[in-house]
Amino acid sequence: MTDNHDRDDLDTWLHSRIEPLSPPPGTFEAIKRRARRRKVRKLTVSAGVAAAVIAAVVTVPQVVKMPVEPARPEAGAKPATSAPSTTSGPGKVFASSKAPIALPTGNPVPANFQPASITAVSDQTMFVIGQAGKPGQCATQYCTSVARTQDAGATWTGLPAPLAGAPDGAAGVGQIRFLDGINGWAFGPELWASHDGGESWKQVSTHGRRVIDVETVGKRAFAIEADCTGTGQDYAAQCTDFTLYSTPATGDDWKPVGASTTNLNKQGAFGSAALVLTGTRGYLLAPDGTLLAGPVTGTGEWKEAGQIPCAVGLAQQDGAPAGAQLGALSAQTLILACQTKAIYQSADGGATWQQTKAGPATSATATSISASPTASVILGTTAGIEVLPTGSDTWQAATLTGTVPEGGFGFVGMTTPTRGIALPADAGAGSVWFTTDGGLTWSPSQVQGPAQ
């Protein structure tokens, strides 16, 4: 970061009379570096203002995850911009911001964009990562691309992406998380970081371990790393020896959180793990079903909090457990969907569980769970989206505008009590789905690239 003395020197140089001689070597590069730092500083200030008014929301660690505590309704809030409906012939969750976040302008979205993961920093601003174009027809040797919307899917722009391919064993990235629009990470299985709103990315060494999950809250980021031998897109398969790491959001000084969350499942059978964060407390679901909990400030030990009443299961393709979908309504109130279709709730941070509602009468497999504290419980499945309205004992299928994506949805999550996002399990659908009525109805927004 430059200081006032640096700016004075730069301004003096720019306004002084220059003789028509070649500048010293490196002059132009120095100017570019200083200008870039000034731009990032302005973006950081703008994002800081927005972050100061963020209300937290929480959901399960699935395709899009930024779990924080539930958002409160904004007084006099206007409805979100409707996403365009289309017809055709897959975490934690999000923050709701009252103020716009100043971000880079961006470029056109690449053609044939296929979003694999989404992260939201407000109910209007979201980032997606995926693949675009075809190998050999990309801007670099890779087809990995990033896009952003600042109007809840009405329009999309392209951003620079990590120089990595799609997940392939120990290489590539397929997931994305942003904390505040400035500090973000692309991961699964590699780990890349951006601290300028996605304008540039730098790979972070994990010493050969694969990153299974990344979540952000407050001023920190947390990540689960594991030793895995899965191949191809199943980078999170055949994993043991899980460890929870954390870093200040503005840097990448990743360190183990503590002894209780280090080397989990070292000698056990292959499994998966999940991370859920609230505004004050974090939860790590270990492969054996143990729930560990602790502060999200970067200080203090995480300790065993309880045991969930069903099997965690193996990893889905995005790294999340297939057998248990965990979410949170507050720092102490948790929700859980098991593959037996049972829904459980814990009011004491996972120490005890009570079965509250039977699951929906569907043969489909649950992929993610989210809850709006004033609206409903929402379940993403391989066949669609199921909703349990507040005060009701009966699940109902959500109304989907357009064709149901093949394979259903890999992620659902609420950004406010009434607004939310869903991502198709099949990235080839090229869409992100939005709701503005608590999950009862959903409409798709195509992440469009230029016409070919």
pLDDT at 376: 77
Tens of pLDDT along 118-136?
999 999 999 999 999 776 6
Q: Classify 381 as helix, strand or coil.
A: strand
pLDDT at 118: 95
Residue 139 predicted with pLDDT over 60? yes
Nearest Cα residue to 71 out of 345, 415, 436: 415
Q: How many other C-beta atoms are found inside a 10 Å radius of the C-beta of residue 327?
A: 29
The band of 393, judged by pLDDT with boundaries at 50, 70 and 90, is confident
Contacts of 52 (CB under 8 A, 6+ apart): none
Q: Residue 318 in contact with residue 358, Cβ under 8 Å?
A: no
Residue 388 predicted with pLDDT over 90? no
What's the length of the chain? 452
Q: Residue 115 in contact with residue 147, Cβ under 8 Å?
A: yes
pLDDT at 317: 82
Strand partners, 175: 187
DSSP assigned state of 132: -
Q: Among 127-136, 146-155, 217-226, 411-420, which is the least confidently predicted range?
A: 127-136
pLDDT at 42: 40
Tens of pLDDT along 328-379?
888 999 999 988 778 899 999 999 999 976 778 778 888 888 887 665 789 9
Residue 60 predicted with pLDDT over 90? no
Q: Among 100-104, 123-127, 169-173, 382-386, which is the least confidently predicted range?
A: 100-104
pLDDT at 375: 57
Longest dimension (CA), the chain: 80
pLDDT at 100: 42
Mean pLDDT of 21-29: 47
